């Protein structure tokens, strides 16, 4: 084994295309077009190479991964290589035949996104009438006897119904509901002022989640992804840069985190030009913020540096213009006032105006992902 510990997980962004238009979408503002996507053979090789360097989990995500007509072949390649696969989907396009095909190819589990507890509210956030589709998808997953998880991105417009969302998860047969407070990257950053909740809202939601967690103990797992704008504590983003996980973009670029597209000065290597092993172990991009040697400021001498790894590089860049600074979410950061000002409601136009649903580039003819 080399000095760099092997990765445990891979996020495979199979496509950035998606029929939903969620206002909190964390995909980059500039989406990768379909004609630049890896083809089937290239994804098959990514799965094989990922297994060979130690990846145990592959999260097949997007966009909407079901838009890839070759998804079954990609799942089968992962299964052959011994990689555990989870489909991360909106549910759009999950027909009984499709799910049967995926399960037969070795798919292990499904994580379904839900936007809110009712059709009207959920459809408003998703920018289309998808709630009934999701409900059917959940039933199909349970009928196929695959484990079902729900992921729900939380923000000002659905935090007050978190209890109903949890009940929905229980009634749909989910084993796990991930309640993820919005992370402000990509499209979500554009809507930040209109998505940020109030501190009171968050406190009430946390109490609700705590009560439900006790009630559902042993039956359903509730995961609360903390709102780092409010806690004064930086999240241990990705478990550390280049430490646990890698992201493969639709066009074959490999990133230490799905938010890193925007970071300047980093050339993200391409699986068509380099081996995944070289990318993980040797590339400048993966070594840029690996470990603690890059740290300066309060992080370098901090007892928490091996716990939170300086927080999130993308957030440091988004808020300070320098990806190498301490995450301003941390109360020890010299830039913490930036996030405090935002979180305490000192944001022009914060309460007014609608959130902007995600816009998708116009569909192109042809599909770069086929063949190979």
For other proteins, the binding residues (CB under 8 A) are 1, 6, 8, 52-54, 56-57, 82, 84, 86, 108-109, 111, 145-147, 149, 175-176, 178, 218-219, 223
Sheet holding 254-255, edge to edge: 221-225, 176-181, 148-154, 109-113, 84-89, 57-61, 9-13, 245-248, 254-255
Give the C-alpha separation, 287 to 283, whole Å. Answer: 6
Kindly tell me which of 55 and 257 has the beta carbon lying closer to other proteins: 55
> Angle at Cα 97 formed by Cα 94 and Cα 99, nearest 5°?
50
Minimal distance, residue 57 CB to other proteins, in Å: 7
- Residue 210, C-beta contacts closer than 8 angstroms, at least 6 positions apart: none
Minimal distance, residue 68 CB to other proteins, in Å: 21
Give the C-alpha separation, 157 to 161, whole Å. Answer: 9
Give the C-alpha separation, 322 to 325, whole Å. Answer: 6
Kindly tell me which of 57 and 253 has the beta carbon lying closer to other proteins: 57
What three-state secondary structure class fits 322? coil
Minimal distance, residue 109 CB to other proteins, in Å: 4
What DSSP state is assigned to residue 371? -
Kindly tell me which of 57 and 313 has the beta carbon lying closer to other proteins: 57
Minimal distance, residue 19 CB to other proteins, in Å: 24
Minimal distance, residue 5 CB to other proteins, in Å: 9
Kindly tell me which of 50 and 249 has the beta carbon lying closer to other proteins: 50
Minimal distance, residue 211 CB to other proteins, in Å: 20
Compute CA distances 64 → 46, 111, 225, 338, whole Å. 19, 12, 22, 34
Minimal distance, residue 54 CB to other proteins, in Å: 4
Q: Classify each residue of 158-170 as buried b or exposed e, where b means 16 or more C-beta atoms within 10 Å of its C-beta.
A: bbebbbebbebbe
Kindly tell me which of 75 and 343 has the beta carbon lying closer to other proteins: 75
Radius of gyration in angstroms for the set of CA atoms belonging to the chain, rounded to a whole number: 20
Kindly tell me which of 140 and 195 has the beta carbon lying closer to other proteins: 140
Kindly tell me which of 104 and 132 has the beta carbon lying closer to other proteins: 104
Which spans in 224-360 are helix H?
A: 228-231, 276-281, 284-287, 297-300, 305-308, 313-320, 336-343
Minimal distance, residue 104 CB to other proteins, in Å: 15
Kindly tell me which of 125 and 180 has the beta carbon lying closer to other proteins: 180
CB 174 within 8 A of CB 147: no
């Amino acid at each position: 084994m080399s000095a760099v510990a092997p990765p445990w997980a891979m996020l495979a962004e199979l496509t950035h295309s998606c029929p939903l238009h969620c206002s909190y979408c964390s995909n980059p503002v500039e989406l990768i077009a379909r004609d630049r996507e890896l083809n089937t053979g290239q994804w098959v090789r990514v799965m094989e190479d990922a297994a060979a360097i130690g990846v145990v989990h592959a999260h097949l995500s997007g966009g909407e991964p079901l838009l890839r007509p070759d998804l079954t072949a990609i799942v089968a390649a992962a299964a052959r290589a011994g990689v555990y696969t989870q489909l991360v989907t909106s549910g759009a396009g999950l027909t009984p035949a499709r799910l049967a095909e995926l399960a037969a190819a070795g798919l292990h589990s499904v994580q379904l996104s839900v936007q809110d507890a009712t059709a009207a509210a959920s459809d408003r956030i998703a920018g289309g009438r998808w709630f009934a589709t999701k409900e059917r998808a959940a039933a199909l997953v349970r009928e196929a006897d695959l484990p079902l998880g729900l992921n729900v991105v939380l923000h000002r417009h659905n935090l007050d119904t978190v209890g109903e969302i949890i009940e929905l998860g229980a009634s749909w047969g989910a084993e796990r509901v991930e309640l993820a407070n919005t992370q402000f990257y990509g499209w979500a950053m554009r809507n930040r002022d209109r998505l940020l909740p109030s501190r009171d809202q968050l406190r009430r939601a946390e109490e609700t989640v705590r009560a439900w967690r006790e009630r559902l103990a042993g039956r359903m797992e509730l995961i609360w992804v903390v709102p780092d704008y409010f806690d004064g504590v930086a999240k241990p983003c990705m478990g550390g840069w280049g430490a646990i996980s890698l992201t493969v973009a639709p066009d074959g670029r490999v990133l230490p985190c799905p938010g890193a597209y925007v970071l300047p000065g980093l050339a993200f290597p391409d699986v068509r030009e380099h081996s995944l092993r070289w990318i993980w172990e040797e590339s400048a991009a993966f070594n840029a913020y690996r470990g603690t040697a890059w740290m300066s400021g309060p992080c370098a001498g901090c007892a928490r540096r091996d716990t939170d790894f300086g927080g999130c590089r993308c957030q440091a860049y988004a808020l300070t213009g320098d990806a190498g600074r301490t995450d301003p979410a941390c109360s020890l950061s010299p830039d913490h006032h930036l996030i405090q000002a935002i979180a305490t409601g000192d944001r022009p136009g914060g309460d007014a105006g609608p959130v902007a649903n995600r816009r998708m580039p116009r569909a192109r003819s042809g599909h770069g992902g086929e063949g190979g």
